Structure 1
């Protein structure tokens, strides 16, 4: 079975997605503390419009997996290797960082270091992705990896199911939303994979049919038609409209305590976060041809390659940074302090993950398969037959 071409542009999408994650986390305090300033609308916009990270990573993960595995025959050996890689490059870093963050929180809360108290709390947080606020994403990813072979088998066995994957995914997602609201009332709903079935199944559909879809999705000068232009305008208009509406309802809630039905939040979030990766893929393919010639595009791809490590590590930087809050000064000083938090989280995490990955042989314990990805990302002369893209840690 012929392997499909490697899509290096996906690293650019990951780079943009991790910038969104960092923006959300670095502005979270500002959405509470800066309400009296004239720029509060900007903080609210940056905080809500940037909520594209987790959902984009989930969609990209599904996309890469189905893009690579769907054309291949199902074998026991293939799935042994699949689960071995996930255990080493996803579960191990998750356990290590969960332990680090759990210990830090335990210390911050001033609890006694008694194993009889710590052990039950530790495992409860590990098993729910709650050791720190951002680790729910890895917990969700593990759930989806467990389901992947079953879904892959079903999509290969029933072609109609693969063709209608988006409809099926959204249907299952909203069934979970509604039943959870009326009956189950699961706590921490965002830590459970059905919350993201729409994004996950859309990624699967894109991965399976990408060779057919890309002519309609990717903006290319030599294939432009009036129908495609209308389609692209509709996509971007729907994306902007849903994103701005999503920003607006949070602004009204935060500033005026306006109450909206949960279905409005879920609906706008779902539309916005399912359209965002499509827009980002278009952007990535527009600029992807310059990743070896443009400094900024190359750095964006590099950031995407190390994004899993940056995701895991950056809260440590913000935790230390916020230990030194401002004591006085004008409003502009506070704006600069929040901007500094974003830049520190980005740059320090980026440098630390890159250096550790390049200079040590054990960095996979912390950051997954980043070293192999960094080596693969070294610019080289294009070959006629590109190798298959291996599922990365951030996928």
Structure 2
């Protein structure tokens, strides 16, 4: 479910990005800025889930040489191959639209550079970050297994590494694309790692575990939610003031605000997901979000293509209402078109994973999906739904 909320956040960021610039100074523009800024939780939430799933699945599993080979082989197949092919598609599309040189040497030079930093299209930086995290994971795992580092140390380690990287970038390196480096999001990754190694402790934080029932668990989650509300209000206010040309705090406050806002939003939404899973009235929305989460990687890869097509046909009328409806329509069109491509492709097209990523069990070829569903326990389903 959390993965489903995160992909909706991605779509919101991309669908409203043009409105943030195009709409004149007004309360409507401020609303677009606030909505766009709030949705920025999406990528850190995905990275949190990457850390959670990796450490949850592997912290107690022996990592032999053959196991390491299988680990990287699976990631090469499921992540790197689709990334290369999708990057090539976007590279060719952008070259055509921007009338770039079609000389083979020029195309290969641009593509090679963009492949390394996710520059074939702006959203692909996230895939590069994920690849980097998969490379780092087998190096991080022994810290908590062989060296017996307490799981709780993952949190300060994540913040320390992220802020050391940020300060070095700011004062020494001056990197061209800071956001394409995994250390930019290391606090989210290792917070997820802590949750994967200590899921009961994470549930206790969120007031949803068996040991968190009663006032104590509700109080803990209430404190997190109150802190989240305060941080969110300050973060959104800074963004609105910046876009409006108002006074904004100097120094590291934007980076601090982004860091705290995204992590707290991830925790609050995860707590809400656990509660939705248990609520009878919310079973259908929970199921929809879980299904969307299962399809999120494919949606992430292809939705900018549909937004690109959509934005090439702006409304003929310049009235505000028409523009706002057109902006909302971009969100709906990008999501709907992505699902219309993904669902039949995963079900019926052999080799669709080469471009769209691995097929979710539920939406893959029928025999495989049915066999997997029959063998999944109810407890595993609840955990998977909450973290998707």
Normalised to the residue count of structure 2, the TM-score between the two structures is 0.91
Which position in structure 1 is the counterpart of 2:269? 280
Q: How does 1:61-140 map to 2 (within 5 A)?
A: 61-140=50-129
Which of residues 175, 184, 187 is equivalent to 2:176? 187
- Any idea what the Cα deviations from partners look like across 1:309-365, whole Å, max 9, x if unmatched? 000000011000001012224211111000100111111112211121111121111
Map Cα deviations across residues 219-271 of structure 1 (whole Å, 9 max, x no partner): 36995333322211111111122222111111111112545435101101111
Aligned partner of 1:319 in structure 2 is 308
**CA contact 1:68–1:389 (8 Å) conserved in 2:** no
Q: What is the aligned counterpart of 2:142 among 153, 157, 173?
A: 153
Distance apart, 1:156 and its partner CA: 0.8
| Aligned residue pairs, count | 381
**Secondary structure of the corresponding residue to residue 363 of structure 2:** helix
Alpha carbons 1:173, 1:194 under 8 Å: kept: yes
How much has 1:72 moved relative to structure 2? 1.1
What is the alpha-carbon root mean square deviation over aligned residues?
A: 2.5
> Which residue pairs with 1:370 in the alignment?
359
The one of the two structures with greater contact order (alpha-carbon pairs below 8 A, sep at least 6) is 1
Q: Is the 8 A contact 1:309 1:353 kept in 2?
A: yes
Deviations 1:12-71 (Å, cap 9, x if unpaired)? 010000000000000000000112444112111110001111111111011001001001
Partner residue, 2:32: 43
Written as runs of structure 1 = structure 2, the 5 A alignment for 1:14-29 is: 14-29=3-18
Which residue of 354, 357, 360 maps to 2:346? Answer: 357
Counterparts of 1:369 and 1:292 in 2: how far apart (Å)?
Answer: 31
Give the alignment's TM-score, normalised by structure 1: 0.90
CA gap 1:221/1:202 in 2 versus in 1, 3 angstroms: closer
Looking at structure 2, the residues matched to 385 and 170 of structure 1 have their Cα atoms a distance apart, in angstroms, of 32
Q: Deviations over 1:76-119 (max 9, x none)?
A: 22221111111011001100111011111111111121012111
Q: Deviations over 1:261-290 (max 9, x none)?
A: 351011011111111221121111111246
Tell me, which stretches of 5 or more residues in structure 2 are unaligned?
Answer: none
Looking at structure 2, the residues matched to 262 and 124 of structure 1 have their Cα atoms a distance apart, in angstroms, of 32
Alignment of 1:284-303 (within 5 A): 284-289=273-278, 294-303=283-292
CA distance in 2, matches of 1:322, 1:292: 37
- Alignment check: 8 A CA contact 2:207 2:218 kept: no
2:162 paired with 1:173? yes
Say if 1:122 and 1:21 are closer, same or farther in 2 by CA, change over 3 A: same
Greater per-residue helix proportion = 2
Within 5 A, what are the aligned runs for 1:254-269?
254-256=243-245, 258-269=247-258
